[in-house]
Structure 1
Amino acid sequence: MLQSMKHLEEFTAENVYISALDPETFQFNPQLKSLTIGQTDLSDLLPELFEPIPNLQVLDLSESQIKSLEFLTQVNLPALRCLKLRDNEITVINETIFQSLPALTHLDLENNPFTCDCSNAGFIQWVRSNNQTQVVNGHQYTCSFPVAEQGSKLLDFDIQSCWMDVSFLCFISSSCITLVTLLTSFIYHFLRSQIAYTFHLFLAFLYESRRRKKGAPHQYDAFISYNIHDEAWICREMLPVLEGEQGWKLCLHHRDFQPGKPIIENITDAIYGSRKTICVITRRYLQSEWCSREIQMASFRLLDEQKDVLILIFLEDIPAHQLSPYYRMRKLLKKRSYLSWPQAGQHTGVFWQNVRRALEAGGAATETTHLLTGPAAR
């Protein structure tokens, strides 16, 4: 019937169809300007139906069980000026749909079960601010959902809480992700060993706290912190006297560290498992990363326990100006006495007696009480 009506401009069919029209229904009616289809189930309406009729100016799909207007985003109706969708089942409308209808001046959406929440915020704002399209009785549209908003006016819904600057949020999110990525990379590349050291220091602190509560004895009398280049002096001079003659039980890197265990764990176990820590200091000792960590950890223990747990022995005479880069060492020397091997000269027996006195001492350490007392300690 429609195939022969090539100049048809107006078509109305109410209560005629029982389902959505075939997409090719109007393929022979390119001049159609007004289309009315009502009292029909158009819930499955396809946008292809409107492809042959781009000159359509009036479209009335009232009482057609339409639930969504998404089909309008895929149609090409540049001349459509009047759109009627009364008495349908439309709950949410995306305002961007109307961008595909540049000539629209009349919109009728009465008696639709609108949802009054942020999903309709864009449409509500469009109705309030749009100057081209007249929304028929828009101020009378009522809410059906949610239950708490039933009966209230759609345009009265407060949309201020729904607005969010998406671009700003994306900027903040991307900036945070970038910052976290850079920070993580920096920490992993430059600070991972320091973080591991701090972690093991914390574990050692917990271990020592538990040990003190239980009253458990230390495994060693002293841990010897030294640079590998000074190992010959340790074996030739220190061990025969402190272990051989005086009978102290010492902990040394090369002999007592557990093979296969991370070095930082061996260091923390040695320092906190010994009553004292003896630091044998030379220029190379000060330049060593691991020696620096050993004296740092021993200083932390000194601060925590407030006892004489640190003994300083200088194998070389190091001028004060050469100690200026080593803040921790300078700070210790301002508060604590130390032993000097070069100053001992021929009186090594007195030197080792002072070491013995230091190992035997167990009192609290204060800024006015030196680790080694008496002129021989200087």
Structure 2
Amino acid sequence: MNSIKKGTFRNLTSLQFLNLVDNQISTIEPGAFEGLSSLQTLLLGSNRITGNTLQKGIFKGASSIVELQLFNNYISYESAGKLDNPPFILLKSLKKLTLNSQRHLGLQNFPSNFLQGLESIVSIHAGNLDISSLHPDTFSYTPGLQELDLSNNPISPINLDLFQPVANLTELHLNKIGLQSLNFVLHANFSKLAVLRVATNELDVIKPNHIAALPFLTFLDLRHNPFTCSCNNKAFLNWSLNSLKTQVIYLCEYTCAFPPSSKGDKLWTFDFSSCTANLDFILFISNSTLVILLMIVCLFYHWRWQGIYAYHLLLAYIYDNRHKRKRQHKKYDYDAFVSYNTEDEKWVINDLLPKLEDEYHWKLCLHHRDFEPGRSILDNIVDNIYGSRKTICVITRHYLESEWCSKEIQVASFRLFDEHEDVLVLIFLEDIPAGYLSPYHRMRKLIKKKTYLAWPQEKEKIPLFWLKLHMALKTSEGKVDEDPILSVIVPDEDQ
């Protein structure tokens, strides 16, 4: 289709949606859309429409249009002066206008009254038009405009008065327009602006007054701008990292272009402390701190296991004293609390649980099954250990390296030593050399004095293992003598 004659749609009075995209339309006679009194959406994209095509009266009879798409056509003008016949003067109800990507010359010269008549317009998409400048009166005809896209147009610098008429603007896209500063926001009323996209421009510094001029901003896109890593951007970076109202999109990807020594560095990693303090003093403090940290790291590395053990010992002592009195006069909820690492869960579920619960009818407490949801893990550990007659610790290398397992065995140890009850049963699933237990002094003392069972490698010894464990759980509360059948001699480290 290369033309639309007058009266073509005369009888389509109920038509609401008309799609004429991707034709060869270059001529539209005045009155071509007469009769389309109910038309809401008109799509004329990807045709051969020019500025001459949009002559006076072509939208006569279609004043009900709400959305008009004219993307990818040949609309252009010889000058940016006022038009004698603005093309949209009859479209009083139009809310959305799409003009993107005009071919050939594009809309380099954007007539100052091109948008005249669009009193109800809410959204304008005018990207990739090669617009070189915009008259300050361009948006004076669109006071209700809320969304505007002018991306990929070489219109920088922007006239400072350009956006004054659009006080209702909530979304503004100015990507790739050669923008060198955000000073234009200081001369407009952007009190409702929620989204600002100014990616791929030449912005190097975002000043505090720029931020203050955007009080309602929710999303800010500043990707691919040559930021300067200097004190000038300190306020912007602090605001970006700490603002609870505005999200600076992809902040972690912003890189520095200046100075050359910081080129390519992430903007958010730039140290702004030198902006307010003496550099020599900072260097002194930094070097001193580095030396002290190095010494601490070396000491910690050398005594790391003892330190970790002492830390868990202290935590267990504190929680033990806080909670152990709660269980003094209560009945036990479980026969045994099972302390194990998740790496050994398969053995616990497939071997230990069926044997003790199904065959011997003991009631066990397992963290993944019996812990109370919503409570802290440590509170669950303490209450369930003191709520069980005994504690079974399934010892492996994974167990010794686990933070939570350390807490569990410490709580059980304090109960053992403070209440003087035979409440602890140790099961070693694998052979662990005495030297490996060196950092765990209390563990080494336990396995020399208390019940210690080793999981046998020979199948014929497994029934005896379960019998020993069953007998260990049958021992009554209070102090008891060690049963010979349960004792296993652990050689001293020096032997």
The higher radius of gyration belongs to: 1
> Higher relative contact order by CA 8 Å / sep ≥ 6: 1 or 2?
1
TM-score scaled by length of structure 2: 0.34
TM-score scaled by length of structure 1: 0.45
Higher normalized helix content (fraction of residues): 1
